[in-house]
Chain A
Amino acid sequence: DTGVSQDPRHKITKRGQNVTFRCDPISEHNRLYWYRQTLGQGPEFLTYFQNEAQLEKSRLLSDRFSAERPKGSFSTLEIQRTEQGDSAMYLCASSLERPGQGRNIQYFGAGTRLSVL
């Protein structure tokens, strides 16, 4: 399978615990995006990486959230001291952006559904 993969698919945790999600993008895709989707809403942008550099963070990304993409390959999204409001689907997407070629297609993983009890 050469698509975007996310792990785990589901995560149930207690309020106050830390959780970490992993995203493996399509091989050779240089951009990786994280989105959050709550029930009945469209995905909302959280942050993105160009290779290993994190270039933009949304205001939705509080201090309790941190994302990394070491070596420009897989990425992790960590939420510290989870709150019930963090319950959502966390989606990862990747794309291959080349200068002068416009905006390329983002391919999404199946997401990690987080439930904070």
Chain B
Amino acid sequence: AQKVTQAQTEISVVEKEDVTLDCVYETRDTTYYLFWYKQPPSGELVFLIRRNSFDEQNEISGRYSWNFQKSTSSFNFTITASQVVDSAVYFCALSEFRETGKLIFGQGTTLQVKP
């Protein structure tokens, strides 16, 4: 069965701290895609990254970095030197290649960055 687990419901940090958001997934498919989305208070889901199951290279984009480990079925997201504008709900999602393309989301992690 497909499942995404984000065990951290809420995280609160002080500005400039580093923070890591955890994501663990379950799938029986050998080809799949993982995504991270950000949902600010306005409600719109903003795409952050897509990773396919054959590419285990870590990725860095500015203050954001992602660590994909197939051995532990994890796809964690780190924000370095957090800022108040990073405050939002972050969702990890899974899409199996054999499926229709629908996204299976985790429950989300609410990140609060305090000044």
Contacts and interface: CB of A to CB of B under 8 A. Distances in A.
A56 B102 contact: yes
Interface string A75-117: 0000000000000010101010100001111111111010000
A89 B33 contact: no
Contact of A43 (B42, B47, B100, B105): B105
A65 interface: no
Contacts of A42: 4, 91, 93, 105-108
Contacts of A103: 33, 50, 52, 95, 97, 101
B91 to A, nearest CB: 5
Interface residues of A, number: 28
A2 to B, nearest CB: 14
A48 B4 CA distance: 20
A33 B43 contact: no
A110 B104 contact: no
Contacts of B45: 43, 91, 93, 108
A22 interface: no
A40 B50 contact: no
B101 A95 contact: yes
Nearest to A89: B43
Contacts of B4: 42
Given A89-B43, A109-B44, A41 B101 contact: no
Interface of B: 4, 33, 35, 37, 42-47, 50, 52, 91, 93, 95, 97, 100-108
27 contacts: A33-B101, A33-B102, A41-B107, A42-B4, A42-B91, A42-B93, A42-B105, A42-B107, A43-B103, A44-B105, A45-B102, A48-B101, A56-B100, A89-B43, A93-B45, A93-B103, A102-B52, A102-B97, A103-B33, A103-B50, A104-B101, A105-B35, A105-B47, A106-B47, A108-B45, A110-B42, A111-B44
Interface of A: 31, 33, 35, 40-45, 48, 55-56, 89, 91, 93, 95, 97, 102-111, 113
5 interchain residue pairs of minimum CB distance: A42-B105, A108-B45, A45-B102, A110-B44, A103-B33
